[in-house]
Structure 1
Amino acid sequence: MVEDSDAALVDAWRGGDREAGKRLFQRHYAAIARFFRNKVGEAGPDLIQRTFLACLEGRERFRHEAAFRSYLFAIAYKVLCKHYREQRRAEARVDFAEDSAHELSSPISAVAARQEQRLLLEGLRRLPVDYQVVLELHYWEGISAAELAEVLSIPVGTAKTRLRRGRELLEERLRELSTSAVLLQSTLANLDAWAARLRVQVLGDEPE
């Protein structure tokens, strides 16, 4: 039996072991589904399929210097950006440092039970896409600044800056969207905890 690490499965997959490729996709499917869930609404399943197809077609280009999930998220990010550009008219440029998922896509299907969770979901969607991506990967997948740098092809220092600025912008959006001071305080005081609960209760799957 092939060793269970991502690296071993990738090597076996390249060598023609289709079962190894299937195991890789099954392992990372939930994370890729979460990546698209709060960004594109009903287009999610199609973009998940595009991501794994691109991974299949480009598997020979993967290098073990980076984690396989970083490689996969990098593909997902490119697929997302291409999708947003396709949704805009040809003459309308998309600026991922300015435009948000709220502006670029249809409403999401995720429904949160708690007010804090609903506020956080909407707050994230109203961030510029580049900041939404880094915060969701950080909160929901436990991705570090170094790995974010690999995913987005940016310097580690830039990834750290985006995380810091993203949190600042998220707090601003939450203040704008909140309907009460109590709700805002509850959300801000336990932001990491609400993000973790959101992953499990709304987006599905326990952390790996």
Structure 2
Amino acid sequence: MTTDDGALLSAWRAGDRGAGKLLFERYYDSVVRFFRSKIDHGSDDLVQEVFAACVAGSDRLRSAASFRPYLFAIAHNVLRDHFRRRQRVGETVDIGEESTLQDLSPGVSTLHAEAEEQRLLLEALRRIPLNYQLILELRYWESMTTAEIAEVVGAPHPTARSRLRRAHELLEEALQRLGEAPARLASTQANLERWAQQLRERRDPSV
């Protein structure tokens, strides 16, 4: 069987459950990582919710090549719904545009990082609005293009590009506010993609 996303998706939509299973296995770890870095409990339920919604809405896919952004768009919506549910049951959760992960999930501890620069990056990400944190994670942890990011967040492509630029600015400001030594800040900023890739590997449930 051909194993590229497009062929698997076409086979799945034609009724081949095995093709759908292969697609889910391919992206399962990424979806798990997406949630475990943002909530303190219940991530497994949210992962199952994402894949159930993926199956239910597969006919809405515009093209076979759009599966990955389609999947992460669902994960994005499920995450926001999760915080809204917490708000409805009386938790003091603010899901506004400026909400950070520190506001939404203060119980999620920062992952221990082998390098100080990695720890600094993780802490800074928690201090910028979640909407911008997600964009940076999609860019650096999932290696998405700005066009794919636009699909995930439901914004026009030029808007996604401008949000990515703004996310970098906010991250740099957060790094500055942490008050670390200038040399360490410079190292983190200059090696953002490398540190992000190393953190991605450390958060991978399969590693």
With normalisation by structure 1, the TM-score equals: 0.88
C-alpha displacement of 1:18: 1.5
CA distance in 1, matches of 2:177, 2:110: 22
1:127–1:32 CA distance, 2 compared to 1 (3 A): same
In the alignment, residue 64 of structure 1 is paired with which amino acid?
A: S
Report the counterpart of residue 134 of structure 2 in structure 1: 133
Report the counterpart of residue 187 of structure 2 in structure 1: 186
Offset from partner CA, 1:86-122 (integer Å, 9 cap, x none): 1224787621x20011110131473322111111111
Residues 60-69 or 17-26, more deviating: 60-69
CA distance in 2, matches of 1:62, 1:87: 30
1:205–1:37 CA distance, 2 compared to 1 (3 A): closer
**Large movers: runs of 4+ above 4 Å:** 89-93
Residues 128-137 or 57-66, more deviating: 57-66
In the alignment, residue 43 of structure 1 is paired with which amino acid?
A: G
1:109–1:44 CA distance, 2 compared to 1 (3 A): farther
Matched, 1:172 2:173: yes
In the alignment, residue 180 of structure 1 is paired with which amino acid?
A: A
Report the counterpart of residue 197 of structure 1 in structure 2: 198
Gaps of 5+ in 1: none
CA distance in 1, matches of 2:168, 2:110: 24
Tell me, yes or no, if the aligned pair for 1:87 and 1:104 is still in contact at 8 Å: no
CA distance in 1, matches of 2:122, 2:24: 26
Matched, 1:82 2:75: no
Gaps of 5+ in 2: none
CA distance in 1, matches of 2:17, 2:8: 10
Count of aligned residue pairs for this structure pair: 203
Tell me, yes or no, if the aligned pair for 2:94 and 2:104 is still in contact at 8 Å: no
CA distance in 1, matches of 2:156, 2:15: 35
Tell me, yes or no, if the aligned pair for 1:42 and 1:109 is still in contact at 8 Å: no
SS of 2:114 mapped into structure 1 = coil
C-alpha displacement of 1:205: 7.7
1:57-72 equivalences in 2 (<5 Å): 57-64=56-63, 67-72=66-71
In the alignment, residue 53 of structure 1 is paired with which amino acid?
A: A
Offset from partner CA, 1:33-64 (integer Å, 9 cap, x none): 22223222333222111111111221222221
C-alpha displacement of 1:187: 1.2
Q: Percent identity?
A: 48
1:109–1:184 CA distance, 2 compared to 1 (3 A): closer
CA distance in 1, matches of 2:165, 2:114: 28
Matched, 1:31 2:36: no
CA distance in 2, matches of 1:178, 1:93: 26
With normalisation by structure 2, the TM-score equals: 0.89
Matched, 1:51 2:50: yes
In the alignment, residue 101 of structure 2 is paired with which amino acid?
A: A
C-alpha displacement of 1:178: 4.0
CA distance in 2, matches of 1:33, 1:158: 27
Matched, 1:42 2:37: no
SS of 1:39 mapped into structure 2 = coil
Offset from partner CA, 1:122-162 (integer Å, 9 cap, x none): 11121111101110000111111111111111011110111
C-alpha displacement of 1:194: 1.2
The RMSD of aligned alpha carbons is 2.1
